[in-house]
Structure 1
């Protein structure tokens, strides 16, 4: 869910999570394999506790930074699971740095309190949307790993991915498919139940336009993959384009409102 908190407990948990993320990000070589892995697990647990503290408070908050924070936590959850299946999987320091940045942003920009009169279905709608963000985020990470592995393979070098190239490709598109399903559900709910969720009819604002454009991009990617066998660089470029459009849809619009314009939506 797109929730955060400015409560003392969430603040302390966030600071601890950011510090724990910074350890493997900055000192991976000094910590060693076991130390870096334990530090990342600790950071992930503290990050999750911070998000839980935000959900349990009386006035949950939401905004662009909490959205990025939850997305980062979901991506790291996927990484943690895959790390157990593929012990040689790398890029730990990159994900740790992203996790630290996401936590700090959520502490600095905790968002706006969720209106007390909001329907109980709104958190579910937001949860669907942010889950789609997380799945597409995982797809982007796997696509980046796949691209790096392909480049190294062409140069007859060790791919250093820790995961077979075909497995990376399959996982990338599985995450895209799952994210597409959740994004579709989010858009359908927004169109059909906008008055219930937000107290107003559906309208073609910045968020809606970019959300639909991202949906069309991901639909084209999956269709091209199924009908024309898209893969490699071409498929990755389309994935990146869809991810950027999706990022602009919610995070971009909320950032403009909260930071650039300095007002609540």
Structure 2
């Protein structure tokens, strides 16, 4: 029962946050509520995750816990980002997804892989990889908000609708996230290839996870080059971003899903 309540609490807080940010509710009267709910939800989510991730010796990373951890990191980064650039409209998209993700470890037990954390290189590799996932997840939410903003510009505003950031400002924030995430993804791939013995205890092997990771890196690299040289924006940029994120999800989370729920094993 305590475990159920532990996961229900962050989900409830995230949903309350999404409500507070929606439509006419996202006015000055609710800003204090939003400021209180966001850190409370992040802390509650962290407590629920700690119960799941550190149940045994090592780190229990499965399909459900990986998704939940990725969404927690995305919300944490948003919380830090919002100190400089508040964007409550983003929470209308992100908070319900985070609520669902916080419940996943409770609903889908699967066969999580227990990773023994040995040495600084292994720990650093995992931290950097998780940061890349979290930042790219938040970038996807930014991209969805950008699409919604573009569509809203072509129709009259609804009564009580809150004005958001200008489109170009949102786009700059999006690519700042993508660039930062690309640095972390590059470090993840580079460390995994160069320090494979120290991290995994065996020489580097080109597995399906590595192939998907390289494919994601290449697509994000093309996106950033296209942005710099050709000024890519709008639908063109978002299509490349979604394609890169798709391969990034396949690289670990998709592999975990197949192992745990199709093959029924952890390795």
Query: What is the TM-score of this pair, normalised by structure 1?
Result: 0.84
SS of match in other structure, 2:205: coil
RMSD value, Cα:
2.9
User: Judging changes above 3 Å, is the alpha-carbon distance between structure 1 residues 141 and 84 closer, same or farther for their aligned structure 2 residues?
Assistant: same
Secondary structure in structure 1 of the residue aligned to 2:89: coil
CA shift for structure 1 position 211: 0.4
Q: Which residue pairs with 1:136 in the alignment?
A: 136
CA contact (8 A) 2:135 2:178 kept: yes
**Structure 1 105/161 Cα, relative in aligned 2: closer, same or farther at 3 Å?**
farther
Asked if 1:46 corresponds to 2:48, the answer is no
Which residue of 2 is the match for residue 203 of structure 1?
205
What TM-score do you get using the length of structure 2 for normalisation?
Answer: 0.83
Q: Within the alignment, does 1:123 sit opposite 2:116 as a pair? A: no
CA separation of 1:88 and 1:66: change in aligned 2, threshold 3 A: closer
Indicate yes or no: 2:19 matched with 1:20. Answer: no
Instruction: Quickly say closer, same or farther: Cα 1:31–1:9, change in 2 above 3 A.
Output: farther
Displacement after TM superposition at 1:157 (Å): 4.3
Tell me which residue corresponds to 2:97: 98
- The residue that corresponds to 1:241 in the other structure is 243
* Structure 2: gaps spanning 5 or more residues: none
Equivalent pairs counted in the alignment come to 258
Unaligned 5+ runs, structure 1 = 1-7
Please report how far the alpha carbon of residue 26 of structure 1 lies from its aligned counterpart in structure 2 after TM superposition. 6.3
- 1:143-182 map, 5 Å: 143-155=143-155, 157=157, 162-182=164-184
